């Protein structure tokens, strides 16, 4: 496209050029909005999650560590896959209770039933 000298154009020609530019911008905007809507649809279909659409209330919540390696100081909260240091120690014959940070947590408290009135 040849370069247009805007200084030499009269007002009418500038207004026509402006309307052409506005039309092109509107067309491109419409195309981009279509592409964005299509991408949003694809990304919403590709989301991985529960089939019923619910998300766990505990997702993203930090938990205090339950287990600690005395040698390295590495910790594990007891959630997810066991860390390598703990797996190796358990294979060598050590017990999981040996790594507990809070020894009172080894036996969970018993739930007592209420008596009916």
| Whether residue 99 has pLDDT greater than 60 | yes
Model pTM above 0.75: no
| Measured distance CA(38)–CA(22) in Å, rounded | 24
**What pLDDT score does 111 carry?**
66
- DSSP annotation of 102 reads S
| Measured distance CA(75)–CA(65) in Å, rounded | 6
Question: Domain extents for the chain?
Answer: 9-46, 67-106
Long-range CB pairs of 101-107 (<8 Å, 24+ gap) are 101/65, 101/66, 101/67, 101/68, 101/75, 102/66, 105/66
| Whether residue 92 has pLDDT greater than 90 | yes
| Tens-place pLDDT, residues 14-73 | 999 999 999 999 999 999 999 999 988 887 776 655 666 677 777 778 888 899 988 888
């Amino acid at each position: 496209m040849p370069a247009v000298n805007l200084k030499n154009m009269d007002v009418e020609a500038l207004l026509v050029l402006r309307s052409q530019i506005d039309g092109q911008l509107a067309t491109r905007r419409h195309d981009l909005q279509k592409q964005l809507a299509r991408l949003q649809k694809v990304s919403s279909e590709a989301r991985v999650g529960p089939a019923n659409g619910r998300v766990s209330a505990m997702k993203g919540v930090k938990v205090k560590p339950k287990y600690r390696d005395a040698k390295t100081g590495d910790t594990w909260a007891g959630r997810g896959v066991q860390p390598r240091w703990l797996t190796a120690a358990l294979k060598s014959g050590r017990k999981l209770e040996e790594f507990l940070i809070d020894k009172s947590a080894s036996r969970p408290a018993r739930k007592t039933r209420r008596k009916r009135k």
